[in-house]
Structure 1
Amino acid sequence: MEGRSARTAAADIETHVDRATARVREERTALEEKSAAYESFVRRVAAVPTEPAPSGPPRATTAAGTKFRAETAGNDRCRAVREAFAETIRPHSVADMDAPESLSTTIRSELTDSVADVLATTTEAAFTPEAKRAVVAEARTQRAGVAVTDRALDREAASLDDAADVVEEVTAWVAEAERTPLSELGFDALRSRHRTLAAHRERCEEAVADRQAFLRESTGRSAAVEVDHRTLARYLYQELPVRYPALSTVARLDGVCESCQRAVRAHLVRRA
């Protein structure tokens, strides 16, 4: 592979890694906003007053008006929590706000079934101190999960940077080397170019091995709160032309180097 074709092939290779890096930046921004949303939600829930948990069945002497006021107060408190969720977390949970997903469904998805049941409009559950603690605890757990994902994105960005360094250095060398046609090189220069291409291919193979090892790992504090790197990559790059942009890019670059190496070898054989 000689001349402009090799330079063009090498220059085109960087695209996927660049797009992958941009996706990581986008996702990190989204996670920062979601973490802030959870923090705001917790503050708002903390400000909602609670009511005592019922200690038993209503007494016969309880007036209907008093019971109605208690139920109304409970509903108002649960409504305040639902509104806080709708205004803070939900915009960062439902990508398309026009999607026909109920608020209760989103709460169930982001928090837990039990929290969704307490806050549901169809129940008369009291917003007790225990219920409040459950909502706040689950929100904090989810925020901790967001933090773990953010750390996984840090590691993903570093892994992409390592691959990008190899791509940038090798493509730059190919572009510069291909300015001089093989026909103008002497035997020793051809042999040197062949050795350099072999070294670049070794770097590509090492980059692929490092990337594959990284994808087999995970980031997390425990088995309950961890992010699998391969699953994260599939999510991040699902809209890109290739499933694994870094691996695909380095593999293509190795292919370019291999083609160049074959061309150099052909010249060496003819001159031997």
Structure 2
Amino acid sequence: METLSDPLWLAALAAVMALTGLLSGTLAGLLGVGGGIVIVPVLFNVFPLLGIEEVVRMKLAVGTSLATIIPTSIVSARKHHAKGAIDTALLRAIWPSMILGVALGTVLAIWLKGDALSAVFATIALLVALNMGFTGVDFKLRDTTPRGPGLWGIGGFIGTVSAMMGIGGGTVGVPILSMFGTPIRAAVATASVFGLIISIPATIGFVSGGWGAAHLPPLSLGYVNLVGFALIVPSSIIATPWGVHLAHTIPPLMLKRAFALFLALTAARMFHGLLT
């Protein structure tokens, strides 16, 4: 097996991480997903090459993904804000319940075993892919977003699931907002801010929850690996504006279909890993 002292292997690893960052950054701007829907499965499959034990692999992938979402979401949210696409009233109403959901999801993710986290990731990704892939851009359950307890429930669900999956909130936030009458571009833009609301407290939770855990690789702060963070973040920031530009230029239906395709492929990879 290759080691960290092999310069050729390190160069290949750096290239893989940089490409992962470019793809995740583009998706963060394009779909409001914070890139985690790509980062988590990629890290889960790359970490064994570093000799990382299976017992911590999924948690480390989720925690590292959440950390990379912080700077990417800042760039994405600023770009969408500049275009005036963010629903600030909705954000003010939903963020407290989302924070509570993040706290619950983080505790569950640290407590559950890695296979359980993988199953949650794959199941939610597949459900969202089916929704986005087989409904039209104008599909909605109602014309307006619920207020009061209904909205708090939505925020709590988005926060809980996103923290467990290591994603920025757009993966579940975009389809839910669009189903409740939010235009798809506004849903994507608003979900870019969800990434910050979710990733900052969840990252803190994964750092503290994994502090001193057995089998962690070198250069890790709890369940956040600094090697992956350092390689993915710069390329993600470079690519995020590309995705924002695409989000405001391509047809909305194509945007939904692209979202569904990426989620379906991700879910298939995760289920395959669980069954083999």
Question: Which structure is larger by alpha-carbon Rg, 1 or 2?
Answer: 1
TM-score by length of 1: 0.28
TM-score by length of 2: 0.28
Name which structure has the greater RCO, CA cutoff 8 Å, separation 6+.
2
